[in-house]
Chain A
Amino acid sequence: MSDTANTIAGAGFAAAPARPQRARRTGRRLHVNLTGLVLPLAILVLWEASASFRWVDPVFLPAPQKVAAAFWKMLTAQNLAQDFLASITIVGQAFLYGSVAAILLGIAAGLSRRVEAFFGPTFDTIRHIPGIAWLPLIVLWLGIGAPAKVLVIAKSVFFPVFLNTLQGIRNVDRNHIELAQALTLTRWQLVRRVVLPSALPSILVSLRYAAGLAWALVVVAEGLSGLEGLGFLIFRAQGLLLTDQLMVCMVVIGLVGFAIDRGMALVQRRLLRWKQGFEG
């Protein structure tokens, strides 16, 4: 009888080959990364070609090396870092406030139908007024500085996270709730051990989405009001026909957005190690 135990325990179908599988996966991830570089390189080549062969007037499309030089100049002589810092601070604050509020209220609404009924109609109306439509009014109240932008972006972060938290909680497996009852877990233990972990994947998806959204919105908000930040620079560069500076800002915005998304994906992967997903 005990040797049947050994056979089954020793078989370890899934756990034993886990290691080589993981190694293979990292190998493939590297491969995917290289594949992902092909298209950017192609675009760079095309860009360089259109500048060298004068397919496009350099006023409208400066050569890559001119953009690189502009980047260096902005960094060393024009406080690009400070503008970048201004933008990222707004996004960081807005993301923090918006998502913390959203997760807390989302949990409250997810756990109580009454809370959901209380906030539901109001939220569903506010949600449909875009953040940018709020900006003019908020700027009248709070001025053209950072607080107005933080508020507006926090609002845009809030809703996707709130809705996904609520939905994630509502989708908790009934069987798991029954298990918690059978194990005599208290309501708080149920929330902590069962409800929140099972809502976590859906919360993390919305956080990742909201982080990207916040970064995109700060550019718009700074373009519409204020005197600093990447969004301000980009619109100023357009006005002064400094296409090279404009493109520096675009590239920086794109790369930072990429880094934010990858960072969030890393957090997601780290926190959801227990989840086995489709890997293509």
Chain B
Amino acid sequence: MPAGRLDIRDVSKSYPQEGRPPLTVLSHIDIDVAPGSFVSLVGPSGCGKSTLLRLILGLDADHDGEILVDGTPISGPALSRGIVFQDHRLLPWLTLERNIGLSLENAGWSAAEKAETVRDLIALVGLRGFERAFPHQLSGGMAQRAAIARGLAARPEILLLDEPLGALDALTRLRLQSELQRIWRTERVTMILVTHDVDEAIFLSDAVVVMGARPGRVVERVTIDLGTERDRAGSDFAAHKRRILRAMGAEFGNRHAA
């Protein structure tokens, strides 16, 4: 069985509030992700999708329910789960290659293996020639490519992407979506993408999980069966988009009624 299976079982998360009942940000989340698949989480602001990603990453163990990777409950961050944040979060004092290498500090590999991996990844994300550049010398799109390379460096089974393209201009975003798709196919790593952009989710994913807000919960899971060449202007694409938007829209309708 290939590695990279993720099971989120009945996960709830709430924050205590002074003098008021605790604020529930995630309520009974159940999501299964097959090894090597691409799943997107979409939903309105405040639906807890980024919080859920933090829990999967292992940065916050204070929640109910279970998060299993390949059948084993997670305990804290691990190199088998990579992350790409919305802000590229490259360290400004490290060159591009050393930023990517930072992921490998505790990988237990030889220096030669590390150097080779970094070199391969820089080629994979199309940044050859910029190995010694500092982050301030890179454009937003290039920095985000570097962040993707860093996320992949330790050969994780699961790569978590927290709106990685959200801060980029529209054209760069489209290009990087194709890049991400290519990387996903090359690396065969499970990817979980949090995004606001429904088109992006449909273009990239095997399945889209639509979440609702207050409290954050799963509203619908839409399987995307559009094959490998996806036409953003095609009628099938539009049909999926309509379905997802309806799931998100119905959510708003209910809230207005309530």
Contact surface of A with B, Cβ cutoff 8 Å: 1-2, 4-9, 11-15, 18, 175-176, 178-179, 181-186, 189, 193-194, 197-198, 200, 273-276
Q: Are B136 and A175 in contact (CB under 8 A)?
A: no
Interface of B is mostly: loop
Question: Contacts of B93 on A, CB cut-off 8 Å?
Answer: 197-198, 200, 274-275
Alpha-carbon distance A261/B57, docked complex (angstroms): 47
Residue of B nearest to A5 (CB): B126
CA distance A198 to B89 in the complex (A): 13
Contact with A along B117-136 (1 / 0, CB 8 A): 00000000111111001111
B142–A184 CB distance below 8 A: no
A12-B77 contact in complex given A178-B59, A193-B105, A274-B136, C-beta closer than 8 Å:
no
The answer for the CA separation of A197 and B85 in the assembled complex, in Å, is 21
Contacts of A15 in B (CB 8 A): 129-130, 133, 137-138
Measured CA separation A57–B42 after assembly (Å): 85
Total interface residues in chain B, CB < 8 Å: 40
Complex Cα gap A179–B90 (Å): 9
Known: A175-B89, A274-B93. A1 touches B136 (CB 8 A): no
Which residues of chain B from 112 to 163 have a CB within 8 Å of any chain A CB? 125-130, 133-139, 141-142, 145
The reply to whether A11 and B59 form a contact with Cβ atoms under 8 Å apart is: no
**Cβ contact within 8 Å between A12 and B130:** yes
Instruction: Report yes or no: A184 in contact with B79, Cβ–Cβ below 8 A.
Output: yes
Judging by beta carbons under 8 Å apart, are A184 and B129 in contact?
Answer: no
Which residue of B87, B129, B172 is within 8 Å of A9 (Cβ)?
B129
Partner of A185, one of B87, B105, B129: B105
CB atoms of A9 and B91 under 8 A apart: no
B89 touches A14 (CB 8 A): no
**A11 with B57: CB separation less than 8 A:** no
Partner-A contacts on B (CB < 8 A): 57, 59, 76-79, 83, 85, 87, 89, 91-94, 102-103, 105-106, 125-130, 133-139, 141-142, 145, 172, 175, 178-179, 181-182
Q: From the candidates B91, B134, B137, B182, name the one contacting A176 in the complex (CB within 8 A).
A: B91
Q: Considering the chains assembled together, what is the distance between the CA atoms of A2 and B185 in angstroms?
A: 13
Residues of B within 8 A of A11 (CB): 139
Are B89 and A176 in contact, CB atoms less than 8 angstroms apart? yes
Q: How far is the CA of A189 from the CA of B106 in the complex (A)?
A: 10
A-B pairs, 4 with minimum CB distance: A5-B126, A9-B126, A197-B93, A276-B136
- Note all chain A residues with C-beta closer than 8 A to B76: 184
Distance (Å) between the CB of B176 and the closest chain A CB? Answer: 8
A–B Cβ pairs within 8 angstroms, 22 of them = A1-B182, A4-B175, A4-B178, A4-B179, A5-B125, A5-B179, A8-B141, A9-B126, A14-B133, A14-B136, A14-B138, A15-B138, A178-B59, A182-B57, A182-B77, A189-B106, A193-B91, A193-B102, A197-B91, A274-B92, A275-B93, A275-B136
Nearest to A200 among chain B residues (CB) is B93
Q: How far is the CA of A179 from the CA of B103 in the complex (A)?
A: 10
The residue on B at minimum CB distance from A193 is B102
- Give every chain B residue within 8 A of A189 (Cβ-Cβ): 105-106
B134 cross-chain contacts in A, Cβ below 8 A: 273-274
Pick the contact of B106 from A13, A14, A175, A184 — CB < 8 Å? A184
A176 CA to B88 CA in the complex, in Å?
A: 11
Of chain B, the residue at the smallest CB distance from A178 is B59
CB–CB B91/A175 < 8 A: no
Q: How far is the CB of A179 from chain B (nearest CB, A)?
A: 5
Measured between beta carbons, the chain A residues less than 8 angstroms from B136 are 14, 274-276
User: Which chain B residue shows the least CB distance to A197?
Assistant: B93
B137: which A residues are within 8 A, CB to CB? 14-15, 18
A275 x B92 contact (CB < 8 A) = yes
**Most chain A CB atoms below 10 A, which of B126, B179, B181:** B126
* Given A14-B138, A175-B85, A9 and B128 contact (CB-CB distance below 8 Å): yes
Inside 8 A of A12's CB, which chain B residues have their CB? 129-130, 142
Question: Is B178 a contact of A183 with CB atoms below 8 Å?
Answer: no
Q: What's the Cα separation between A181 and B103 when bound, in Å?
A: 11
Q: Closest chain B residue to A271 by CB distance?
A: B93
**Identity of the chain B residue whose Cβ is nearest the Cβ of A179 in the assembled complex:** B89
* A1–B179 CB distance below 8 A: yes
Instruction: Please give the distance in Å from B98's CB to the nearest CB on chain A.
Output: 9
* Central interface residue in A6, A185, A200, by most chain B CB within 10 Å: A185
In the docked arrangement, what's the CA distance between A153 and B127, Å? 50
Nearest B residue to A9, CB-CB: B126
Name the contact of B59 in the complex, choosing from A2, A7, A181, A200 (C-beta under 8 A).
A181
- Chain B nearest CB from A176 CB (Å) reads 6
| Shortest distance from the beta carbon of A181 to any chain B beta carbon, whole Å | 6
- CB pair B106 A186 closer than 8 Å: yes
